[in-house]
Amino acid sequence: GDSVTQMEGPVTLSEEAFLTINCTYTATGYPSLFWYVQYPGEGLQLLLKATKADDKGSNKGFEATYRKETTSFHLEKGSVQVSDSAVYFCALGHMLGGGNKLTFGTGTQLKVEL
């Protein structure tokens, strides 16, 4: 079945450091890939997405490229801020009766310090 593997956290960085959170997946067919972010005490929000191989999703300075050959969707940001502290979830999506079944990774907590 589908599965998503993320790097374990927490990841602690200084402000303005470069961020990479690794995500690899196992899936049949052609899933869509997503990064969701969860700020403390809140629900998940979509950060970015990619729907086919070689697509690059981007939002708020974050980027991730759908690499089918390495089954990866790593999240990157060139310069993190304290406000980026949150838990980041990688997910893959497949059709579910016309809707979207999301399979999530376990989440990676990011802490950004001054």
Partner 1 sequence: NAGVTQTPKFRVLKTGQSMTLLCAQDMNHEYMYWYRQDPGMGLRLIHYSVGEGTTAKGEVPDGYNVSRLKKQNFLLGLESAAPSQTSVYFCASSYTFHSPGDYEQYFGPGTRLTVT
Residues in contact with partner 1 by CB under 8 A are 4, 30-32, 34, 36, 41-46, 49, 51-52, 89, 93, 95-102, 104-107
CA distances from 38 to 46, 49, 100 (A): 9, 15, 19
Complex with partner 1: residue 17 or 58, whichever CB lies closer? 58
Complex with partner 1: residue 84 or 89, whichever CB lies closer? 89
State the Cα–Cα distance between residues 21 and 12, nearest whole angstrom.
12
Complex with partner 1: residue 36 or 62, whichever CB lies closer? 36
Q: Is the dihedral of CA 74, 49, 8, 11 positive or negative?
A: positive
**Contacts for 95-100 with beta carbons within 8 Å, 24 or more apart?**
100/32
Complex with partner 1: residue 4 or 75, whichever CB lies closer? 4
User: Least Å distance between CB 98 and partner 1?
Assistant: 6
User: Least Å distance between CB 114 and partner 1?
Assistant: 27
User: Least Å distance between CB 101 and partner 1?
Assistant: 7
State the Cα–Cα distance between residues 79 and 42, nearest whole angstrom.
24
